[in-house]
Amino acid sequence: MEINEALARYIQYLYVEKGLSQETIKSYDSDLTLFMATLAGIQDTRDLHSHDITDFMQLQSHCGKSARTINRRLSVIRQFYLFLERDGIISEHVSKIHAPKEAVFLPSYLTMEEVEQLLEAPNREKDDEMRDKAMIEVMYASGLRVSELLSLSRGQINFEKGLVTIYGKGNKERRVPIGEFALDYVKEYIKGARERNIGRHSKYLFLNKFGKPISRQYFFLQIRKYAKRAGITELISPHTLRHSFATHLLENGAELRAVQEMLGHTNIATTQIYTHISRKRILSAFDLYSKRK
């Protein structure tokens, strides 16, 4: 059965048999749509597996979602799978999938070598990959949130001063430095792929082939594609680049307060989690060195 048909059946079941409110059904539908967006290329229920749920939970944690949010989404997805099981549409058993109990997590990040491999993965001879190359470079060079990257306008980048003006959460303005490499690739994209795009007069910097802003789901799938091409086996998301940006800054001696300002964190405690990552990495390297001795 096609996944879209299975989803339609489930939504009808929630409405007719469960008697849920429109708002609750809308919330369920939103969580399921988010989950399905991570299943690249899967269109039939025969290709659904319980490990897809585990991968999704891991990805949500990597993206900084709280245990409460992950548990809620897990509950929705699990109920959908159970519905498919009861109707004989799939044979997977999801009852043994455990919800996360810890609210505190360490964000995943890439090594500098892995970042280099990811940055080199796009083929700049293709318009869409030239754009993706610029997007990945900008995200790693500035530590922007995914929403901030996708909503960037050309006017927010000061090419002369090497600064990006961001309007973050609560419409708070911050200016983030951005390196020459990233700016050069943005210029290449603007003069090339973007100039050839039907939406070249749009205020948005990064556009899809229809001249519209890039969606979060699409960019996530592109990151997965380039990670696979680069030989990165860990499940990563666009947010992984933001985590890597912060971790690498601290590992190279940047002050915590400066990193907090660049990331746009209101509370420095949010930024301090990256110091735990750095210490953990250093201790792991020391342990490895000791074992070799």
Whole-number CA gyration radius for the chain: 21
Res 288 pLDDT > 80 = no
* pLDDT score of 69: 84
* pLDDT score of 103: 45
**Tens-digit pLDDT profile for residues 102-112:** 444 556 788 88
* pLDDT score of 232: 92
Res 282 pLDDT > 50 = no
* pLDDT score of 283: 42
**Tens-digit pLDDT profile for residues 90-103:** 776 655 565 555 44
* pLDDT score of 96: 56
Q: What is the DSSP string of the chain?
A: -BHHHHHHHHHHHHHHTS---HHHHHHHHHHHHHHHHTSTT--BGGG--HHHHHHHHHHHHHTT--HHHHHHHHHHHHHHHHHHHHTTS-----TTPPPP--S--------HHHHHHHHH-S-TTSHHHHHHHHHHHHHHHH---HHHHHT-BGGGEETTTTEEEEE-GGG-EEEEE--HHHHHHHHHHIIIIIHHSTTTTSSBSSB-TTSSBPPHHHHHHHHHHHHHHTT--S---HHHHHHHHHHHHHHTT--HHHHHHHHT-SSHHHHHHHHHHHHHHHHHHHHHHHHH-
* pLDDT score of 62: 66
Confidence of residue 291 (pLDDT cuts 50, 70, 90): very low
* pLDDT score of 18: 80
List the single range of 44-48, 188-192, 220-224 with lowest mean pLDDT.
44-48
Residues 118/227, Cβ–Cβ less than 8 Å: yes
Average pLDDT, the chain: 82
Q: Kindly provide the b/e burial profile for residues 24-40, where b requires at least 16 CB atoms within 10 angstroms of the residue's own CB.
A: ebeebeebbebbbebbe
Res 19 pLDDT > 60 = yes
* pLDDT score of 286: 37
Active-site positions read 145, 169, 239, 242, 265, 274
**Tens-digit pLDDT profile for residues 146-187:** 888 999 998 999 999 999 998 865 567 888 889 898 999 999
Bridge partner residues of 163 (DSSP)? 158, 177
Residues 160/259, Cβ–Cβ less than 8 Å: no
Domains recognised in the chain with CATH numbers: 3-86 (1.10.150), 112-292 (1.10.443.10)
* pLDDT score of 84: 84
| Spatial separation of the C-alpha atoms in residues 31 and 23, rounded to whole Å | 13
Residues 164/150, Cβ–Cβ less than 8 Å: no
Q: What is the DSSP string of 196-255?
A: HSTTTTSSBSSB-TTSSBPPHHHHHHHHHHHHHHTT--S---HHHHHHHHHHHHHHTT--
* pLDDT score of 279: 56
* pLDDT score of 287: 43
Confidence of residue 78 (pLDDT cuts 50, 70, 90): confident
Q: In what order do the strands lie in the sheet with 173-177?
A: 157-158, 163-167, 173-177
* pLDDT score of 292: 44
